[in-house]
A and B are shown apart, each in its own frame.
Chain A
């Protein structure tokens, strides 16, 4: 956020923020109102993030070092990054597609009716449903002794996908098995973030399209999708970040490593291999880099997707 020190002459466009003309003094007051939030962000987001990443540049005794970056020559760590990225990408893509379809279906309902608000509230709750509770819900459903697993066994499928995936026991306790619980919170999150964009589609556009001889198909390809694209890809990034940083659900299901957050846990709390806690900071930095690359790609995409507006 850059506030220019030179106050530009107020143009009519600047006045959209409020009824009154914004003066330098007024702007200072506005900033003052932001202070509590600023303090909160600095204390609970900026400071911990900086400390966590900075820890990667020091060794156990507090001397500056770059040796921790050797972690990136370790094939296991690279494999963890690869697994983290593919599982996040897959659940983000599936979550975005299913979520968008649900939003599309909801468009047909009246916004002031029960169903829409029920789905909305349910999504708000389920999007935050994770960690041990979510893990347990799935253990009870598709774990080795899960209800669904047991039922499949009882009707004759003694070896089914849930209790024998890939020949190595229950699906839920393997990395690919994380897709199922992750989707459980990804889809509601998509509904939550994408629904407002869907609701923003004006019926007049559809009417204009029909008047000019367009079909439903051309309406979606020429009008709907281009307008929704930035919001869709924005949600996709959010879903990716959400899965990429998920720790508690995976930790409750998988005792070994396999994805980056679990590798970070291993480095931080190891009682067998001592003095590797600082490597966790380097892995955190790697996660930040992945997100920066994605955000950069997204903003380029965003610029391209919103060309028609200019």
Chain B
């Protein structure tokens, strides 16, 4: 009897039919000429100026952003500001707590669909592996970005950096930490958390890099950082839970090593959802920063809105919003010389350090290899 074969055949036919309809669905983009040119435009001028870009974006009416938590680098205010400024464009914010790798998978998995991300805010290591996913574009104030902060062809450009810092609940930790060594003390038993698994999340890996810089290592040799966390684990001080704004507010994670803009946002600046006793320390000695990159998805379902978003991000008002969260925007130097920087905000956040270490792509690869082989055993 062929019934079994028939059933499997029917099943596969149905599977194919379903997947085909899924692919055909929902490309809601209007097919005007502005549309096709927005896809390839490498600057607003290509489209006939800012006004033309705005009207093309308004015609699209949507913008998909991904992995932007509202409490991260002021993205809540930045997204609200965009919707206020361009009321006819609706922002869909997907997977706020995802990683850079999640952004890439979303772009690949949803390619050709209206739900695919339009723009990325992405870590350097993942970006360098996926340069075929991004479209070149240069914002109007391209010259404000230092030469080594951007790709010459406009495929990616730095947006902001924080400094690795220690956030602590001053109710629990009465003496502010002055060095990484302090964290090994008994006052910190079971209290020190990082933002996930360093072999997985860039921010967690950066905590290890900071520990390396502070304990005699360097960007070329992060082994001392892994050793530090091994001692932390041995002392019983390492807390293996992913901290969030909520765990800091409830006191579940009293000490968190993470980017300064996140530590600041979870403290008094967080208002009702923050923890008023939560303070941030950037340790003396070598500081560690790491710029994230802005880039446009080459298959963006809303190409004009994506480009408008980048123009918006690099406008001084939004660069100041980054600054207000404790993140140093990429155009800060140009803004300081042009006088467009919000001076009161800069005074609160503090001048950017004259120099901080940022791992190059090669150093990050070498560091990742060390983490891959040594991290799990260090905290195992």
Contacts and interface: CB of A to CB of B under 8 A. Distances in A.
Please indicate whether A and B come from the same complex rather than being unrelated chains: yes
B238 interface: yes
Contacts of B371: 272-273
A271 B293 CA distance: 14
A266 B367 CA distance: 16
A70 interface: no
Nearest to B122: A271
Interface stretch (A31-39, A210-218, A292-300): A31-39
Count chain B CB atoms within 10 A of each CB in A1, A167, A275 and give the residue with the most. Answer: A167
B1 A3 contact: yes
B48 interface: no
B199 A266 contact: yes
B380 A79 contact: yes
Interface in B1-21: 1, 3-4, 6-8, 10-12, 14-15, 18
A164 interface: yes
Nearest to B104: A271
A105 interface: no
Interface stretch (A11-19, A87-95, A248-256): A248-256
B379 interface: yes
Count chain B CB atoms within 10 A of each CB in A174, A255, A256, A272 and give the residue with the most. Answer: A272
B252 interface: yes
Interface size class, chain B: 35 or more
A39 B239 contact: no
Interface SS of A by simple majority: loop
Given A266-B197, A272-B201, A173 B240 contact: yes
B180 to A, nearest CB: 18
B252 A145 contact: yes
Contacts of B6: 31
Contacts of B372: 273
Contacts of B368: 272-274
B276 interface: no
A257 interface: yes
A173 B241 CA distance: 6
B251 A35 contact: no
A273 B195 CA distance: 16
B205 interface: yes
A2 B1 CA distance: 10
Interface string A76-116: 10010000000000000000000000000000000000000
Given A273-B372, A274-B126, A43 B14 contact: yes
Count chain A CB atoms within 10 A of each CB in B10, B125, B197 and give the residue with the most. Answer: B197
B376 A253 contact: no
A139 B242 CA distance: 12
Contact of B12 (A4, A42, A265): A42
Interface string B338-380: 0000000000000000000000000010011101100011011
Interface in B241-294: 241-242, 250-253
Contact of B233 (A163, A168, A170, A265): A168
A164 to B, nearest CB: 6
A47 interface: yes
A39 B238 contact: no
A3 B4 contact: yes
Nearest to A2: B4
A169 interface: yes
Count chain B CB atoms within 10 A of each CB in A41, A79, A266, A274 and give the residue with the most. Answer: A274
A62 B20 CA distance: 23
B11 A1 contact: no
Contact of B7 (A34, A75, A173, A257): A34
B129 A275 contact: yes
B154 interface: no
A27 B198 CA distance: 57
Given A272-B205, A272-B368, 10 more contacts: A3-B4, A28-B3, A42-B12, A43-B11, A144-B190, A166-B236, A268-B101, A269-B101, A271-B200, A273-B368
